[in-house]
Structures are given as C-alpha cells and as structure tokens.
Amino acid sequence: MPLLRLLTALLVAVAPLAQAQGAASAAAGAAAMADGEVRKVDLAQGKVTLKHGPLQSLDMPPMTMVFKVADPKMLQGLKEGDKVRFSADRINGAITVTRLVAEARNELIDIAWNADRVFERQVQVAPKKFAELCGKLGRGEQVAWSFEGSAPTDFNIHYHQGKQVVYPQQQAAMAGSSGTLVAPLDQDYCWMWTNQGAAEVSLRIRLQH
C-alpha cells in the first residue's frame, strides 16, 4: 500500500508539468508559423515563391524567396495573391515549407484538378467568414467529396438554376462529412463552408472527380 500511494502521488505531481510542457510545445508550434503572400506557384517543380514575414525558426528576416515544399499537394489550388501561414525547416540542405495553410476569405476558389483528377486543399476559415470551392461539371459527372474540420461549420453544395439556388447537400454544424455528388445538369457547382463561431476553423478538403 505505501508503494501504491507513492506512485499515485508521483503521477499527480507529474501531470501538471506534462500539461504545461504540452501547452508550451503547442504555443511554440503556433509561433513558428509565419505570414506570407503567394507570388508564384510552380507545381511541376514543387516550389512556391512567397513574400513573407520573419521566420523565427530559421532566424530569417522578411523577404521574398522561392521555397521547396515537402509535399506538392500543398500547392494545389494556390494562386498568386493568396494569403497563407506557413512553417519551414532545413531539409537536406534546402529551406523547405513543411506546413502551409491558405487563409480563407469571402472569395471564389477555383477547383484545379491534378493529373489524378483529385483536388485537395487545407484552408483556415476566419470567424463569420466562408470558404467556397467551385468548378464546372457536366451532367452525370460524379465527384466524391470529404472534409474534416477542427470545429463545426455550416456546409452546403449548391448550384444556380436561373435565379434559384439549388442545394443537393446542406448540413448545419458539421465537423466532418463525406458523400458523392452526381451532377444533374451542366453547371458550375460549389462546395461551401461557413464559420458561425468565434474562433478560426481549420479545414482539410478532398474532392475526387
């Protein structure tokens, strides 16, 4: 019994320290992210040109430079002028973007299919803002879609028929979902997420044509 009480006391004493270390690590990870603006995207070479603020993790001042990316999928859907947050590290001697998150604004994001007919994107949706991805589909074409969010958002798929807005899919307060859209006619279709909360929401989105 004395040994059991000693072990319990040690666990109780260590738990707050572990929590504090975890919180410090999370804060350090957030601080390592830098603000940037996309100046050029090179999908073929897996590179992106960013005008960025200070990179504290690399002791680098603000500048505009070309970065390699750890995963070319990070670049899908990015375009010149997009605001991003990113982190970078030295990998095999090259400064490489290891994480990149596009800032969602109230604007249209064109769906750009890759060679495998897949579109993947990670976006940050600010409070009371939305992210909207749109692309043209022919009648009968199918798109398998899925998303995961750090918090619930209001989600819908819609298209316009004359002055009417038609919603093949509409879900409120969803932190994740998946399904398949079968286009009923030749039209532009949009996937839309609206953040009704008070905190930023991170979304990972995947469309398979």
Domain at 191, CATH number: 2.60.120.680
CB atoms inside a 10 Å sphere around CB 74: 23
> What pLDDT shows up at residue 128?
86
Count Cβ atoms within 10 A of the Cβ of residue 109 and give its class: 0-12 exposed, 13-18 middle, 19 or more buried.
buried
Is the same domain home to 56 and 132? no
Residue 192: pLDDT above 50?
yes
Within a domain: residue 10? no
In the three-class reduction of DSSP (H, G, I as helix; E, B as strand; rest coil), residue 63 is classed as strand
Give the mean pLDDT of 2-18.
44
Q: Which CATH number fits the domain that encloses residue 84?
A: 2.40.50.320
Is the same domain home to 118 and 204? yes
Greatest alpha-carbon span in the chain: 78
Most confident of 1-10, 73-82, 110-119, 139-148: 139-148
> What pLDDT shows up at residue 91?
93
Strand ranges inside 5-163, DSSP E: 34-42, 47-52, 63-69, 83-91, 94-104, 108-110, 118-125, 130-137, 142-161
Give the domain extent around 52.
34-102
Within a domain: residue 84? yes
Q: What is the pLDDT of residues 70-112, one digit of tens each?
A: 999 888 878 899 889 999 999 999 999 999 988 756 666 899 9
Is the same domain home to 110 and 94? no
CB atoms inside a 10 Å sphere around CB 138: 9
> What pLDDT shows up at residue 73?
86
Within a domain: residue 25? no
> What pLDDT shows up at residue 105?
62
- Which tops the pLDDT comparison, 178 or 128? 178
Within a domain: residue 68? yes
Radius of gyration of the chain (CA): 21
Is the same domain home to 112 and 174? yes
Residue 201: pLDDT above 60?
yes
> What pLDDT shows up at residue 70?
94
Write the CB contacts of 177 (distance below 8 Å, at least 6 apart in sequence): 146, 147, 155, 171
Is the same domain home to 63 and 76? yes
Give the mean pLDDT of 8-34.
47
Task: Give the end-to-end CA distance of the chain in Å, rounded to a whole number.
Answer: 63
Is the same domain home to 98 and 128? no
Binned at pLDDT 50, 70 and 90, residue 51 comes out as very high
> What pLDDT shows up at residue 186?
97
Is the same domain home to 62 and 117? no
> What pLDDT shows up at residue 27?
38
Cα–Cα distance, 48 to 67 (Å, whole number) = 5
pTM of the full predicted structure? Answer: 0.59
Listed residues 80, 102, 124: the one ending a domain: 102
Helix (H) or strand (E) holding 20: helix 2-31
Is the same domain home to 96 and 189? no
In the three-class reduction of DSSP (H, G, I as helix; E, B as strand; rest coil), residue 45 is classed as coil
Within a domain: residue 6? no
Residue 15: pLDDT above 60?
no
Within a domain: residue 110? yes
> What pLDDT shows up at residue 205?
96
Is the same domain home to 66 and 140? no
Q: How many domains does the chain have?
A: 2
Is the same domain home to 97 and 110? no
